[in-house]
Structure 1
């Protein structure tokens, strides 16, 4: 079998026309070099070199082989370069966990912008409950997560990346449905739909904070496991609700009226990651730096 070694040794001999200089050039002894060129001639069934006492000369077959062998090595080097460049560009996927059934337009914009910024880094998105997101971050099954917030955890960092105004949700036949704006205290006078704490903990805690601030004893009429279930209950007239404007843009429905609040109240979205030592992976650092630019005061 002809190997690259045969051709590399032959090129050295054909260009030097001297076995000693060729052996020095490829860093082998002269004897194995000469044996390898003989082996090449035997495998090809041709004479490549005329061996005179004081000089070597290429035969026509030798000249043709030298021409094509040079082209072969040029192509081989080009292949190596392309392969190395591809390897250098390759990155393990950025694994993102999305909790709380989040469907905000800014989240989609975030991913779209990141793909434009880092097109060679695959993006893997997994939807999961907030409790599973926390566990996945701890086990490093995902690199980064998005949520309405989780309980304080020494292993996990979380920071706000954007917020949306809070809006009131009422059924079409509700007395507040025709208002252009409503005060939160007026809304909280009616029975409210709440999120279940075990399913949407971050969103429930943010909404509870609003209710505690503006109402002494808000009445919770029903609890929902998902944002879609939350809106369905409002549409069914089981109670009034609040939601961030981003989700109501996504979940626009004819059977729910969205009324702006008079107060400047926002629902916050957080990006989360595990603390790692001595430093975060380079791709994760880049993504977090990019995500921080998305915050609009």
Structure 2
């Protein structure tokens, strides 16, 4: 993300995407999409008694989270959500890809998080996906652009299409 922000500020990049609006001066972050957050659970796990998993139920369970260097904004937003868990988080691994998270979850190392839009590309027989029992468990994708950039007409049309397809 730091490289993306440098590129936007220097003019090397015209637009970018991030999972956080915390981008500092010189860059505008506009919310484009909101994706519900879901959890990935091993196929045989105590949390599967819930159709929607309450956040407080995650306390004490081993967690496989994303590596903040690989997905900085997503990790920041997930961290804010997990602050509501009363127990100390038991993070057993930090991974740099969705595939690695699903592999570790499927092997029983812990439970992980992903957005609902990733469900179709990540179905596995050893992992069950459950929604969280809270409407505010969403990850927002932001369109990033320099606050002083003059965008081409084609890029403006692209951004307009993104806005038209947005859920909020």
- If the length of structure 1 is used for normalisation, what is the TM-score? 0.52
Give, in angstroms, the shift of residue 161 of structure 1.
0.5
- Length, aligned pairs only: 167
8 A contact 2:52–2:132 mirrored in 1: yes
Work out whether residues 150 and 201 of structure 1, in 8 Å CA contact, stay in contact via their aligned partners in 2.
no
Instruction: Return the alpha-carbon distance in structure 2 between the equivalents of residues 272 and 133 of structure 1.
Output: 9
Find the counterpart in structure 2 of residue 16 from structure 1.
Answer: none
Q: Distance in 2 between matches of 1:237 and 1:190?
A: 11
More off after superposition, 285-294 vs 254-263: 285-294
Displacement, 1:292? 1.6
| Aligned mate of 2:148, from 265, 269, 276 | 276
1:172 alignment counterpart: 43
Alignment of 1:16-27 (within 5 A): none
Q: Deviations over 1:207-240 (max 9, x none)?
A: 1011102334222111111222222221221111
Indicate yes or no: 2:139 matched with 1:267. Answer: yes
Gaps of 5+ in 1: 1-129
Structure 1 residue 134, shift from structure 2 partner:
2.4
Indicate the structure whose relative CO is greater, using CA pairs within 8 Å and at least 6 residues apart: 2
Match of 1:189 among 45, 55, 60: 60
Structure number with larger C-alpha Rg: 1
**As a proportion of its length, which structure holds more helix?**
1
Match of 1:220 among 58, 74, 91: 91
More strand by share: 2
The alignment status of 1:289 with 2:160, answered yes or no, reads: yes
Separation in structure 2 between the aligned mates of residue 242 and residue 231 of structure 1, nearest angstrom: 9
Counterpart selection for 2:81 from 205, 210, 220? 210
SS in 2 for 1:272: strand
Cα deviation for residue 162 of structure 1 reads 0.8
